[in-house]
Amino acid sequence: MHTKTRLRTLSALILASGMMAMAQGAQAQDPLKLGLISFYSGPVSGPVGIPSRNGADLIIEAINNGTLPAPYTAAGIGGRQIETVYVDEAVDPVAEYRNAVLRQGVDAVVGYASSGSCLAVAPVAEELKTLTLFYYCGTVRTFEEGPKEYVFRTMNTQDVENIAAARYVLATRDDVNTISGINQNYGWGQESWRDFSKSLQQLKPEVEIKSELFPKFLAGQYGAEVTALSRNKADLIHSSFWGGDLDALILQAAPRGLFKSQTGLLTTGGTALNTLAKQIPDGTIIGVRGNGGILAPDSDFNDWFRAEYEKKYGEQPTFPAYYMAQSVLALKAAADKAAAESGSSAPDMEQIRAALKGIEYDTPAGKVSLNRHNGHQAATELAYGTFKLVDGKPTLENVIRYQPNCVIAPEGAKSLDWIEAGFPGAQCD
Amino acid sequence: MTFLAIVIDGFIYASWLFIIAAGLSLIYGVMRILNMAHGSFYAIGAYTVASLAGWYWSAGLPPYGGIVLMFVIALAVGALVGFVIERGVLRFLMDRDQIVMVLVTFGLLLMFEDIIKLMWGVQSYYAPEPYSLFGSTDVGDLVFVNYDLAMVGVAALVAFLLWFGLNRTRQGKLLRAVIHDRELAITMGINVRRLFVITFSVGAALGTLAGGLVAPAIAVTPGIGIEIIVLAFAVVVTGGLGSIQGALVGSILIGLARAAAVNLYPELELFVIYGVMALVLIFKPRGLFALASTRKI
């Protein structure tokens, strides 16, 4: 090769390297495009989708401005501002996920309220190699059907809240000997009822099942179901209804006294506390799918979140607001961790993904540890309480908080097997 | 007791179904339009009542006045929306194929979904006060809400008024002539376009009335109109498209079958509605009370 040619090649290489370095520098300043996906229309939007988005927006704004409370001090995600792309889960989840990743170019996704959506989207996230954090859906199948690399979940699965519900019933209502269930007719409802009834029967074998009803998702009219439950009385009625279905059930059951004559156990009842407090009878057992909303433990972070949320939206945050917020915070915590580990102020998405595995981080609802399913599945504290209307305001009494090692299957164990084996190794003291 | 419970639940559910399905069937019978937008009328009725009646009750005004207001609002908004749609859209497409009209009304349904979100947002609306206003009735060990029982009366009144209007009034006779043979009716000097406006407005008002009456018992949210339209079509197909008595019998059959399934075989609940429809169509492919059609050469 001639010297002149060598010089030209060298110059070109230097120029190319310089341009690449400049491009990398610019990338560090480019906003991180984050897909925020939930039900923004339809019957689930009011109780779940909108509060979820509000909670996430509040946290994102604080991340961008660098105003999050300690331990989150630096602004941005690895120095990058977050730019949100809202996607409605009510439209075809898989097609819209592909659209968000391939056309809109989101770097990561936080989303999905429905178990059906999560089951459909998880393989697509793996295929497109896009970091995806499930914030709300509960199906255990996401990780039990095979390990994932790009999918994480930052809250408990549905089995956990039903195991905790069974333990709560045992602890607070030892007079319960018969149970009925009314749950939506799809994976979420069927698995919730299965896990609750099996757990309670493991803990108290003499418990008898009276009625098992599975109306269609979004049926809206439950008159015949209320009659069927009233005819075949049980001591307690379990329901994992959520969204508009939950509201309709409470509204239609109230004047017929269903949850007065038989104790109601509403595993997601926390979303209805503000809107339907007058229709929920005292004594109804209320869950919040974890420990957010009204059951969030006291802390400076929680005080800040509540105050900022009320200032911004004029109401107290319900638990979906906590859970989408804690999913966004997982990204922030992982980016901060990746930056500390790599010494780089701008970790890339792969470094953030690696840092997410097994991370433990702070949220307004306490610590979240991704310590199940190879560091991809969260294990959090979970609480239940008993409803009481005090001076027209909804309150929860007899609150019991369950630690993960009491109600979550150990690493490597399948949830249903763990329940059927009688919860070996559970630490509930 | 089980039998009685099934009958009561079945008739309550059938009442609600009938009020929706009657409007759908009336419009098809007279105008030959399979009106997909009927689900939107239902949703508009529910939203209007939930927001305006909700305001009425929160203002602490006399409670029974709120019930009257519910009826007035629901019927008025339905008649108005029906009038605007008929005059503004459908009259330009009257001679098109029925399939085209299905697509047009489906387009209207989608547009209304977005209009509803623009007007009311995506959050839920609640107006629960009327639902417990009339108290409840004990039937043995069971408690039924008087508001639900009153729905049976409202549906019966709607059925009677439709029967009376179609069979005992001059306008009704003209409508039946149009139902029987539109072309011949036109040649006889009947103002068909005027009857179409009246029919569509009345049909739409029945849709909004059903939505308005159910609003106190549900969370009114986007999408309720789409959920209901499939069910309403199952009723009118079972009863026979375009037949009011078909809508009535179809509603009762499906209402009773669903209540029986929920009380006796809950696992059949989803199947039974469409099972009844399929069973009827096997033996009567055009539904129980299909309109006779004249053979034209």
Q: Is residue B244 part of a domain?
A: no
User: Which tokens in the block code for residue A347?
Assistant: 């970790």
Interchain pair A251, B262: CB under 8 A: no
Residues A42-51: tens digit of each pLDDT: 778 878 899 9
Q: How confident is the model at residue A374, as a pLDDT? A: 93
Residue B51 near chain A (CB below 8 Å):
no
User: What is the least distance, in Å, from the CA of A210 to any CA of chain B?
Assistant: 12
Q: Is residue B81 part of a domain?
A: yes
Most distant CA pair in chain B: distance in Å? 64
Mutate to test the interface with B, among A39, A41, A190, A211 (most CBs of B within 10 A): A41
Structural domains of chain B, count:
1
Interchain pair B259, A224: CB under 8 A: yes
> Percent of chain A beyond pLDDT 90?
77
Q: Nearest by CB to A227, from B136, B142, B227: name it.
A: B142
A-chain CB neighbours of B5 within 8 Å are 227, 231
The yes-or-no verdict on residue A1 having pLDDT over 80 is no
Residues A124-146: tens digit of each pLDDT: 999 999 999 999 998 888 998 88
- Phi then psi for residue B38, to 5 deg, are -60, -35
Q: How confident is the model at residue A20, as a pLDDT? A: 47
Residue in the structure block whose two tokens are 């610590």: A367
Residue A211 near chain B (CB below 8 Å):
yes
Q: Which of residues 193-252 of B touch A (CB under 8 A)?
A: 214, 216-219, 221-224, 227
Cβ burial of B15 (10 Å; 0-12, 13-18, 19+) is: buried
Interchain pair A248, B266: CB under 8 A: no
Complex ipTM, two decimals? Answer: 0.89
Mean pLDDT for A375-400 is 95
Quote the CA–CA distance of A148 and A126 in Å, as a whole number: 7
Q: Which of residues 240-279 of A touch B (CB under 8 A)?
A: 244, 247-248, 251-252, 254-257, 275-276, 278-279
Residues B245 and B282: beta-carbon distance below 8 Å: no
Residues B139-188: tens digit of each pLDDT: 988 999 999 999 999 999 999 999 999 989 998 999 888 888 888 888 98
Q: Is residue B230 part of a domain?
A: no
Q: Is residue B283 part of a domain?
A: no
The yes-or-no verdict on residue A269 having pLDDT over 80 is yes
| Three-class SS state of A406 | helix
Q: How confident is the model at residue A22, as a pLDDT? A: 43
Q: Is residue B289 part of a domain?
A: no
Residues B221-280: tens digit of each pLDDT: 888 888 789 899 999 999 998 899 999 999 999 999 999 999 999 989 889 999 999 999
Considering chain A, tell me which residue range(s) the CATH 3.40.50.2300 domain(s) occupy: 27-157+297-379, 159-295+381-420
The yes-or-no verdict on residue A57 having pLDDT over 50 is yes
Which domain does B196 fall in, by range?
Answer: 20-222
Residues B251 and B14: beta-carbon distance below 8 Å: yes
- The number of residues in chain B equals 297
Residue-averaged pLDDT of chain A:
91
Tell me: domain A159-295+381-420, CATH 3.40.718.10, correct? no
| Three-class SS state of A291 | coil
Mutate to test the interface with A, among B7, B131, B221 (most CBs of A within 10 A): B221
Single pTM value for the model: 0.87
Residues A370 and A378: beta-carbon distance below 8 Å: yes
CATH of A27-157+297-379, one of 3.40.50.2300, 3.40.30.10, 3.40.50.510, 3.30.70.270: 3.40.50.2300
Q: Within a 10 A sphere around the Cβ of B59, how many other Cβ atoms?
A: 8
Radius of gyration for the alpha carbons in chain B, expressed in angstroms and rounded: 19
The yes-or-no verdict on residue A8 having pLDDT over 70 is no
The yes-or-no verdict on residue B211 having pLDDT over 50 is yes
Q: Is residue B44 part of a domain?
A: yes
Beta bridge partners of A390: A393
Mean pLDDT for A106-134 is 95
Residues A390 and A187: beta-carbon distance below 8 Å: no
